[in-house]
Structure 1
Amino acid sequence: MNITWDEVTIDRLHHFEKVLPLYDLVFPIEVREPHEVFMKGLHSAKTRKPNSFRFLVGLDEEQLVSFATGHYLEEVNAGFIVYIATNPKVQGNGIGSKTLLKMEELLNQDAKTAGNPNLETIILETETQDMVHTKEEKENCVKRNQFFERNHYKKVKKFKYLQPPLHQAHGPVPLNLFIKSLQGNESSIETIKKIIHAIYKEKYYLVNGIDEQVLKDSLQKMEQD
């Protein structure tokens, strides 16, 4: 399969609508953001430099095979991958790993644009088995975690991570947090917590528009646990 890569930007939205059905299919409602949040992220890519938002699309001719989104966080020189998914029709061809590597490449470019030699860390959230609803979703959850481990991401086990509520009717959502150090050294808990604070600020406050007090409460609850 010959994958070609393209990016959705605020000025180039021609693949945007193609991604949304796959996004809605793959991710549980608890971690699925309203579609307009993507648009806010694309706007932020223009206004928050050297912070960035990447919306990567993988194509085989005109067929969508994968997508990924992520933020570069200049304050901590880290990348935050928000979503990554492969079209179920073409899974098993190494597409997920290729998509992940391409996203890492783009985030590393952002780090260099910000004046750093290289990106230091990449971090991501993924659902836990407790939040899935069907046997198929549970199997997919296990496969997703194994996928990240194969790609050299390590699960953070020293504290329980909470994603702030994406929907007003829900509270904070316990998720697995995976991290990959690109410099060969293991990230300390203090470093991980600094990255989480940057994620809460750049992603969940400035892009998602979650109330500041809600974010403070989520951080406080996470640190207490």
Structure 2
Amino acid sequence: MNFEVVTSIDDPLFKKALEMYEDIFKAELREDRHVFIHSLTSDYIKKHYIFLVGLIDDTVVSLSTGHYEPTTNSAFIIYLMTHPEYRNQRVGGQTLERIETELHKHAQDVHGRDANMIMLESFGEESYENNSGKEEAILRKNFFNRHGYEVQQDIPYIQPNPQKSLAPTPIDLYIKQYLPLQKDVISPSIRSCYINKYIHGNENNREFVYELLESMDL
């Protein structure tokens, strides 16, 4: 398995990876293509945005995206997905490890050391009414735990809905610490990553995002 970091929307891998993304995610759950295009082309965020494509024999088998936030030396993994035909073959684990490495490269370039923490979002058991959904949520939680990510139980975390006309959605927030961090460091880091993604990346209304942060005491 090998990986390519896509830096241009004209790269054929960009289109192939988005086609896989749109096949995996239902329309009501996925972000518009414009979010990915904007993240790769916006002068404000493209420098520290990663669009990572996993390949086996030139076939796109995984995709992960993330933002590095230099002010707090932290990072936010947005997507981590594996093509259904390649699941349970350690593709997801290798992809997660590689995007962590790529995010740390940005931290090394800016601060000369790895990122202090990496965060990501994932729907938990309580987000599903059916058993299959709950079982998949448990599998994801176990996967992230094995890779050093822990759910933040003390934060009533909310995600702006990808469909901007719909209400925000409760979702689990996971954090992997690379240094022992106190809450007075973790909270500002979450806030900075959240603003970077949901204001500068997704172009949500600034006041709306700040209201969500206030509701989470961030």
TM-score normalised by L of structure 1: 0.88
Relative to structure 2, which stretch is displaced further, 97-106 or 112-121?
112-121
Return the letter of the residue paired with 1:38: F
Is 1:56 matched up with 2:52?
yes
Relative to structure 2, which stretch is displaced further, 112-121 or 27-36?
27-36
Tell me, in whole angstroms, the C-alpha distance in 2 between the residues paired with 1:142 and 1:28.
20
Is 1:41 matched up with 2:35?
no
Tell me, in whole angstroms, the C-alpha distance in 2 between the residues paired with 1:125 and 1:67.
16
Is 1:4 matched up with 2:2?
yes
Residue 66 of structure 1: aligned partner: 62
1:179 to 175, 179, 202: 175
| Structure 2 residues not aligned, in runs of 5+ | none
Tell me, in whole angstroms, the C-alpha distance in 2 between the residues paired with 1:134 and 1:13.
39
Aligned length: 218
Is 1:157 matched up with 2:139?
no
Is 1:220 matched up with 2:218?
no
Is 1:205 matched up with 2:205?
no
Contact 1:30 1:173 (C-alpha < 8 Å) held by counterparts: no
Residue 81 of structure 2: aligned partner: 85
Residue 124 of structure 1: aligned partner: 120
Tell me, in whole angstroms, the C-alpha distance in 2 between the residues paired with 1:22 and 1:11.
15
Q: Percent identity?
A: 29
Relative to structure 2, which stretch is displaced further, 106-115 or 11-20?
11-20
Tell me, in whole angstroms, the C-alpha distance in 1 between the residues paired with 2:186 and 2:28.
23
| Structure 1 residues not aligned, in runs of 5+ | none
TM-score normalised by L of structure 2: 0.90
Tell me, in whole angstroms, the C-alpha distance in 2 between the residues paired with 1:219 and 1:208.
16
Return the letter of the residue paired with 2:34: E
Residue 190 of structure 2: aligned partner: 196
Tell me, in whole angstroms, the C-alpha distance in 1 between the residues paired with 2:9 and 2:69.
22
Contact 1:8 1:14 (C-alpha < 8 Å) held by counterparts: no
Return the letter of the residue paired with 2:208: V
Residue 112 of structure 1: aligned partner: 108
